[in-house]
């Protein structure tokens, strides 16, 4: 949560919003994402492109370094939207996500 709060600034779209999802143990876990990311989750689920509950459990089973579950989910959502823009697939907005690069993907380990 501290990571998201540090990134929020004064823009309401970047302030963390919490939703509850079931983890692998069936217990509620709080997922903190900026509203713009929740908008993308809602749009993708409405189209049938993703099952975010599955993303939560899958991501929990596959942690990365010391990243929180929320931060890792935020990364995967960002990467999904970048790939949609890069491949010319439908997106909820014509504006690419912040940090989008039109050509190539940076290495995950860089």
pLDDT in tens, 78-90: 999 999 998 899 9
State how many domains the chain has: 1
Residues 63, 78: contact at Cβ < 8 Å? no
Residue 93 lies in a domain: no
Residue 103 lies in a domain: no
Query: Which of 57-80 are b and which e, b meaning 16 or more Cβ less than 10 Å from the residue's Cβ?
Result: bebbeeeeeeeebbbbbbeebbeb
**Low-confidence residues of the chain: pLDDT under 50:** 1, 3-5, 8, 108-110
Residue 108 lies in a domain: no
Q: Which two tokens stand for residue 75?
A: 């990364």
Structural domain span for residue 18: 2-87
Task: Kindly report the pTM of this predicted structure.
Answer: 0.80
């Amino acid at each position: 949560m501290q990571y998201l709060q540090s990134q929020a600034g004064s823009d309401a779209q970047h302030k963390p919003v919490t939703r509850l999802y079931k983890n692998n143990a069936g217990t509620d876990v709080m997922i903190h994402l900026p509203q713009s990311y929740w908008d993308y989750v809602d749009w993708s689920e409405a189209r049938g492109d993703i099952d975010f509950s599955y993303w939560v459990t899958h991501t929990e089973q596959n942690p990365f370094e010391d990243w929180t579950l929320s931060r890792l989910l935020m990364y995967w959502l960002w990467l999904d939207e970048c790939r949609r823009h890069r491949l010319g697939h439908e997106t909820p907005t014509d504006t690419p996500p912040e940090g989008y690069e039109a050509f190539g993907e940076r290495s995950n380990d860089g």
